[in-house]
A and B are shown apart, each in its own frame.
Chain A
Amino acid sequence: MSEHSSDNALPEEFPTDLVYALAGTPDLGTCFAARVTGLYQSRDGCKTWHTVYDSLGISDPLPTTSVVLAPDYDGETHRNVLSGVPGGVLRSTDGGETWFATILDSPPPAVSALAISPNFVEDGVVLAATTEDGIFRSANHGSHWARWNFGLLDLNVFCLTISPGFAEDETLFAGVESGVFRSTNGGRAWREVELSVGYEPVISLALSPTYPQDHVIFAGTESQGLLVSEDDGVTWTQSGAAVITDPVNSILLSPDFAESRAMLALLESSLWLSRDAGTTWAQVPNGPESVTAVLAPQGIARGATLLVGQMGGDVSLMALDL
């Protein structure tokens, strides 16, 4: 990965560089990597990378923990991108050339995840999870944010996932230190979801691409493996219990999951693949080491390209060989 990284020293509380999150278009024409040292962009299929915070005029690196693209992002006319940074959310409408900063209420919260409505262009809804202050919600494309934590009894939020049918069902799930919470009103209020393993930290979540019909939810825990519910979170079973013992840091489902049953999981720092909706798992052959983030912009199928972020800040491409 070639890049123009900053030589400035990192604040003490941040580890050495790593990739927290990735975002990109299906053709890999534009990719973003949220890293300890800032937000980076590639416009050449991930061959070269450059920092996109230059226009902010700040000298210190700005650790970026999350990044999301608007669903209509095409790199040309529609270029909304949002990133989560300590104490706020940055918003760009020109693909990262210029940024608008929104400072979230003091004391400054640490943004852990962003979730954007599939209907963002119309409804303008985007949510920011924080590790100590619960969930912030914006309904005007990220211009203004307000905390909406009704019923969210645990404000230490690690991950967020949004229903593909959000425009109709307004459903979201939040993974927190003590389990999972669900909102059915677009993130304005939250209700507890009881897990079969008790109050366990949930660090990753994924909804089936056909969630409004099949109600399938996956929850990755820190120490209790991967949980799956096929009834909208009412009952849960452990999936792949024989293999999955490490923290499930990320879960990706194939866009055609309902037919292919293919999914990827980032277990601790290695990539694993399942082709039967999580019942059996195999480590991705020739997968990179020390993986911290993964993105499958082209789905999970033979020959599809994965974007893999690693410790140290590297981002590499790998073709899936199923």
Chain B
Amino acid sequence: MASKPEKWQRSRVVFQPDVHRGMLRGIEQMTDAVRPTLGPLPRITLYDTTIGPIGKIPELLDDGGTIARRIIQIRDRDADVGAMLLRNVLWTVREKVGDGTATAAVVFEATYRAGVRYLAAGGNAMRLRTHLEHGLREILNELDGMTGRVAGKEELTRLATVITREPELGKLLGEIFDIIGEYGRLEIRKGQGRFFDREYVEGMYWDGGLLSRTLITDISRQRTELENAAVLMTDLEIEDPRDLIPVFTVCVKAGITDLAIICRRMSDIAIGMLVMNRDKGKIKLNAIGIKTPGISVSAQRVALMDMVVLTGGRALLQASGDSLRNVKLSDLGRARRLWADKLNLGIIGGKGDPKALRRHIAHLRDVYVSASDTDDRGELQERIGKLMGGSATLYVGGITKTEQDYAKEQATRASDAMRGAIREGVLPGGGAALLGCRSMLQTRIAESVESEERAAYHILLEAVEAPARTLLENTGYEPGEILGQLADVGPYVGFDVVAGQVTNMATAGILDITTVVKTAVRAAISSAAMALTTDVVVHRAKAPEALTT
């Protein structure tokens, strides 16, 4: 028999002004948890994981998205509604751009708090929302106007250092992104020592490895390398070794000495034939079998498609009714060098048509830009990265596992942000870009004819000041005085909290990523505007099971 819900879990309908007050309590609580992480000198939030059957090491968090994610319920249910709404906004921002959650939180809170104050005085929520959304578009346009490009090792290093707050990591990320570019492939792995390091790998590689260890020819490096190789690409399974004879015949006739057969599966007896032929065969053909990259059929098709563009030739597909019996020389791709080990397949110098490869990558970039799904974008990013001719590996150091996990997470977030910066540009940092929107908002206030419109711009004025105000508070400065100093300066001037002086943020290398700032501001203001129109909250009888188990 289900236990009777406690008083706080009972069904209840809440009306104004309790809705706004309650939600504001939750929003403030959530914002206060995230607020300390804003700025170049963030404080850590410790997530207590010691309770439970197996006590774990406490988690050190400095990322607003993760902090919000860890807060799964507030006992005050009216407050919980506001907190969970903001939690969702923060996690969405975090998922989309990897950063900007603290900015989103303080902008959301400022917008909501000022909005509630205005509505309590008798304002119309729906009209206010319309004007807030209009004002948001103007803020985004202003930010676009302030956006500058970031390029070159020095600028990228400064930006990475601002993001990571770790000069050593910032230096390496600056160098890496200068080389691999915004779409380049970067793997972040835990290193062996205390320090960070990086490695560059030439060519493209996939996760399909040799079908058998017996195909390894370089025992010391545990891999096999081919030169001027022909490449057979298929998703077929090769059971009968006799199926390989037409392929061998085509190669021998064309004078090909190295062959890579990329297939879904190959029987032991077929693999044995490759080994026999290599070691004792009469014909001189060094052939190896490699597993088709990808787990799912669609992933395999995509990998084969990319390899075909890279090497030329054609993929023999089960779905098209292809078989190995009628293989032609033109079906085989070519590569200057090809390597494979137990896990990976690498191609250096694919001999496909370079124009087709450039067109293919341009198409993938277009699809990436128009894709809205995070997973789709991630997959496209990976595909483009693989085709760019090289990849980088960043090894993160640390003394303890916790430190290393933290560094890896930090590097991952920073690399997402760096890609965004290169693609979409940067803004003056330290909240200066949003402060730079103040003169436009003040002009709109002066021009406003409706009270809701005027109120909306006043609210937005508070909202755009919130990040700079929080940053100053976090670093021990008196915000009122400094914000006053910054009232009549240009949009690129802000307060450097580390140096303790007013400076041109762009020149000083204090930069924020446009896409991060815009995403945070857009999510915060539009969600807060929507939240202000909430009039009634219906609490269910009991919290969902997922939250209680």
Which one of B277-285, B353-361, B426-434, B462-470 is at the interface?
B353-361
**A8 an interface residue at 8 Å Cβ cutoff?**
no
Residue of B nearest to A154 (CB): B354
- Residues of chain B at interface, number, CB under 8 A: 26
Cβ of B361 and Cβ of A153 under 8 Å apart? yes
Q: Which residues of A sit under 8 angstroms from B39, Cβ to Cβ?
A: none
The residues in A between 185 and 203 inclusive whose CB is less than 8 angstroms from any CB of B are 185, 188-189, 191-192, 199
Residue of A nearest to B351 (CB): A132
Cβ of B184 and Cβ of A151 under 8 Å apart? yes
**B382 an interface residue at 8 Å Cβ cutoff?**
no
**In the assembly, what is the distance between CA of A177 and CA of B354, in Å?**
7
Best-surrounded residue of A107, A155, A189, A199 (most CB of chain B within 10 A): A189
**In the assembly, what is the distance between CA of A1 and CA of B390, in Å?**
47
Cβ of B354 and Cβ of A150 under 8 Å apart? no
Q: Which residues of A sit under 8 angstroms from B355, Cβ to Cβ?
A: 154, 177-178, 199
**B15 an interface residue at 8 Å Cβ cutoff?**
no
Least distance between B22 CB and chain A CB atoms (Å): 53
**B153 an interface residue at 8 Å Cβ cutoff?**
yes
Cβ of A151 and Cβ of B349 under 8 Å apart? no
Q: Which residues of A sit under 8 angstroms from B530, Cβ to Cβ?
A: none
Q: Which residues of A sit under 8 angstroms from B337, Cβ to Cβ?
A: 107
Cβ of B349 and Cβ of A150 under 8 Å apart? no
Cβ of A149 and Cβ of B389 under 8 Å apart? yes
Q: Which residues of A sit under 8 angstroms from B178, Cβ to Cβ?
A: 185, 188-189
Q: Which residues of A sit under 8 angstroms from B387, Cβ to Cβ?
A: 153
Cβ of B358 and Cβ of A192 under 8 Å apart? yes
Least distance between B450 CB and chain A CB atoms (Å): 45
**In the assembly, what is the distance between CA of A73 and CA of B483, in Å?**
60
Cβ of B349 and Cβ of A155 under 8 Å apart? yes
**In the assembly, what is the distance between CA of A189 and CA of B388, in Å?**
10
The residues in A between 124 and 158 inclusive whose CB is less than 8 angstroms from any CB of B are 132-134, 147, 149-156
**B250 an interface residue at 8 Å Cβ cutoff?**
no
Q: Which residues of B sit under 8 angstroms from A154, Cβ to Cβ?
A: 354-355, 357-358
Cβ of B390 and Cβ of A149 under 8 Å apart? yes
The residues in B between 296 and 319 inclusive whose CB is less than 8 angstroms from any CB of A are none
**A106 an interface residue at 8 Å Cβ cutoff?**
yes
**In the assembly, what is the distance between CA of A133 and CA of B359, in Å?**
20
Least distance between B198 CB and chain A CB atoms (Å): 13
**In the assembly, what is the distance between CA of A191 and CA of B387, in Å?**
13
The residues in B between 387 and 432 inclusive whose CB is less than 8 angstroms from any CB of A are 387-390
Least distance between A68 CB and chain B CB atoms (Å): 24
Best-surrounded residue of B178, B349, B359 (most CB of chain A within 10 A): B349
**A82 an interface residue at 8 Å Cβ cutoff?**
no
**B202 an interface residue at 8 Å Cβ cutoff?**
yes
Cβ of B181 and Cβ of A184 under 8 Å apart? no
Of B151, B152, B202, B358, the residue contacting A153 (CB under 8 A) is B358
Residue of B nearest to A199 (CB): B355
Q: Which residues of A sit under 8 angstroms from B390, Cβ to Cβ?
A: 149-151
**B179 an interface residue at 8 Å Cβ cutoff?**
yes
**A67 an interface residue at 8 Å Cβ cutoff?**
no
**In the assembly, what is the distance between CA of A155 and CA of B349, in Å?**
7
Q: Which residues of A sit under 8 angstroms from B361, Cβ to Cβ?
A: 153
Q: Which residues of B sit under 8 angstroms from A106, Cβ to Cβ?
A: 227
**In the assembly, what is the distance between CA of A193 and CA of B418, in Å?**
22
Residue of A nearest to B392 (CB): A150
**A176 an interface residue at 8 Å Cβ cutoff?**
yes
Q: Which residues of B sit under 8 angstroms from A134, Cβ to Cβ?
A: 349, 389
Cβ of B349 and Cβ of A189 under 8 Å apart? no
Least distance between A315 CB and chain B CB atoms (Å): 34
Residue of B nearest to A150 (CB): B390
Cβ of B336 and Cβ of A150 under 8 Å apart? no
Least distance between B90 CB and chain A CB atoms (Å): 35
**In the assembly, what is the distance between CA of A149 and CA of B184, in Å?**
12
Q: Which residues of A sit under 8 angstroms from B200, Cβ to Cβ?
A: 150
Least distance between B519 CB and chain A CB atoms (Å): 26
The residues in A between 92 and 117 inclusive whose CB is less than 8 angstroms from any CB of B are 106-107
**In the assembly, what is the distance between CA of A178 and CA of B180, in Å?**
20
**B228 an interface residue at 8 Å Cβ cutoff?**
yes
Least distance between B258 CB and chain A CB atoms (Å): 10
- As a 0/1 sequence over residues 172 to 184 of chain A, the CB contacts with chain B under 8 angstroms (1 = contact) are 0000111100001
Least distance between A107 CB and chain B CB atoms (Å): 5
Best-surrounded residue of B200, B336, B361 (most CB of chain A within 10 A): B336
Cβ of A199 and Cβ of B358 under 8 Å apart? yes
Least distance between A320 CB and chain B CB atoms (Å): 38
Least distance between B314 CB and chain A CB atoms (Å): 21
**In the assembly, what is the distance between CA of A18 and CA of B200, in Å?**
39
Q: Which residues of B sit under 8 angstroms from A153, Cβ to Cβ?
A: 354, 357-358, 361, 387-389
Of A107, A150, A176, A179, the residue contacting B389 (CB under 8 A) is A150
Best-surrounded residue of B152, B200, B337, B354 (most CB of chain A within 10 A): B354
Of B180, B227, B389, the residue contacting A152 (CB under 8 A) is B389
Least distance between A112 CB and chain B CB atoms (Å): 15
Of A147, A155, A178, A188, the residue contacting B358 (CB under 8 A) is A178
Cβ of B180 and Cβ of A189 under 8 Å apart? yes
Of A132, A177, A178, A191, the residue contacting B349 (CB under 8 A) is A132
**In the assembly, what is the distance between CA of A156 and CA of B349, in Å?**
9
Q: Which residues of A sit under 8 angstroms from B181, Cβ to Cβ?
A: 150-151, 189, 191
**In the assembly, what is the distance between CA of A81 and CA of B354, in Å?**
33
Residue of B nearest to A105 (CB): B337
**In the assembly, what is the distance between CA of A133 and CA of B354, in Å?**
13
Least distance between A3 CB and chain B CB atoms (Å): 36
Q: Which residues of B sit under 8 angstroms from A185, Cβ to Cβ?
A: 152-153, 178-179
Of B151, B359, B389, the residue contacting A151 (CB under 8 A) is B389
- As a 0/1 sequence over residues 134 to 173 of chain B, the CB contacts with chain A under 8 angstroms (1 = contact) are 0000000000000000011100000000000000000000
Least distance between A172 CB and chain B CB atoms (Å): 14
Residue of A nearest to B359 (CB): A199
With A150-B200, A152-B389 as given contacts, are A133 and B349 in contact (CB-CB < 8 Å)? yes
Of B151, B179, B180, B336, the residue contacting A133 (CB under 8 A) is B336
Least distance between A31 CB and chain B CB atoms (Å): 35
Of B152, B227, B349, B358, the residue contacting A184 (CB under 8 A) is B152
19 pairs of residues in contact across A and B, judged by CB atoms under 8 Å: A106-B227, A107-B336, A132-B351, A134-B349, A147-B202, A149-B390, A150-B179, A151-B180, A151-B388, A152-B389, A153-B357, A154-B354, A154-B358, A177-B355, A185-B152, A185-B178, A188-B179, A191-B181, A199-B358
Q: Which residues of A contact B (CB under 8 A)?
A: 106-107, 132-134, 147, 149-156, 176-179, 184-185, 188-189, 191-192, 199
Known: A149-B390, A154-B355, A185-B178. 6 other contacts (CB 8 A): A107-B227, A149-B202, A150-B179, A153-B357, A188-B179, A199-B358
A-B pairs with the 6 shortest C-beta distances? A154-B354, A199-B355, A189-B179, A150-B390, A178-B354, A178-B355
